[in-house]
Structure 1
Amino acid sequence: MPHVTIPGSSGTVRPMRLLGDPELTAPCREVTAFDAELAALVEDLFATMYAHDGVGLAANQVGVPLRVFVWDCPDDEEIRHLGHVVNPRVTHAGGVTVTGHEGCLSLPGVHAPTPRHDETVVEGVDLHGRPLRVEGTGFFARCLQHESDHLDGGVFTDRLTGLRRRRTLRAARRAPWAVTR
């Protein structure tokens, strides 16, 4: 029987950056070194994501300002999508816009209905620099857009407007983990 490695099983859970931390609002740098350090980062991202019961995690959420994210996320048909992408860029975001439940590991316990496209294509490379194209629909498309936003210095609250935005940011300010009160 072949040896199967479970993503994150050799990783270290890293501290999570929370809303208010400047790391979350700065755009991330392109990865230029495809080495053991990058592989360790991806393992740590999986370990951290699983430890916090997430479905996706971007490198800047653990304080590493590089364009990398991981996911273990179902789509609307409950098909599991598991992977990572380095230097991703959204090449397609389309279909209908769906306002759905969204949260973030950097805003624990804070959720809001957030508009996202129902179809997404992300292109980048894998750990070895090989081209990678990831297509997502439904909830998985939401995940791909959410993590891509992080790498550009955004969080889901940036997509909210009006009363919904004010209420969500107020909930974040009042949360026990709030960086600034």
Structure 2
Amino acid sequence: MAVKELRYFGDPVLKTPCEPVTRLDAATERLVRDLLDTVDQPGRAGLAAPQIGVGLRAFSYRVGKQIGYVLNPELVEVSDEVHEIDEGCLSVPELWFPVVRAKRAVVRGVNIRNEPVTVAGEDVLAQCLQHETDHLDGMLYLDRLEPERKKKAFRLCRESSWFWQR
């Protein structure tokens, strides 16, 4: 089991768009195992590669009884129906803020054998798919907050003991 150390808000890797996975080799298999092992901990629903310091388009998820991963995921569909839902992030621990998300989402990518993968979900799984895809585009859920909430969130982050500083 390889549960990796998490990166926290302030670390530049979290704000950098990820490169596509171009090699499906032993290193990519290790990355997939690391993502699955790291997300398979209590209180975790999703984990993107940058959250463990890897700038590649890959994420894992564990929502209910569903656990899996997607390489080179693209968000290909979101419902018109949205809701405001409390959201948190492993890279922004202990802080939760309401975010507007589509109630249904679909992600397409590939697995380690370069076979097509489609993950579709509603509610929490839809939120997870959108959240993790955002990570791969260099975006945190805090970026989606309305201005006053965002200002408060950034202040609370800077005051936190986990905030990454050089």
The TM-score, its normalising length taken from structure 2, stands at: 0.94
Tell me whether 1:134 sits opposite 2:119 in the alignment.
yes
Q: How does 1:165-176 map to 2 (within 5 A)?
A: 165-176=150-161
- Cα RMSD of the aligned pairs, angstroms, is 1.5
The runs of 5 or more residues in structure 1 that have no matched partner are: 1-10, 75-79
Q: How many residues align?
A: 166
Tell me whether 1:16 sits opposite 2:1 in the alignment.
no
Match of 2:43 in 1: 53
- 2:40 and 2:155 map into 1 onto residues whose CA distance is 27
Q: Which of 79, 82, 94 is the matching residue for 1:94?
A: 79
Contact 1:81–1:140, Cα closer than 8 Å, also in 2: no
Q: CA deviation at 1:135?
A: 0.6
Match of 1:71 in 2: 61
- 1:43 and 1:52 map into 2 onto residues whose CA distance is 17
Match of 2:131 in 1: 146
The percent of aligned pairs where both chains have the same amino acid is 39
Contact 1:18–1:106, Cα closer than 8 Å, also in 2: yes
The runs of 5 or more residues in structure 2 that have no matched partner are: none
Match of 2:31 in 1: 41
Answer with 1 or 2: which has the greater Rg: 1
- 2:51 and 2:148 map into 1 onto residues whose CA distance is 26
Aligned letter for 1:109? E
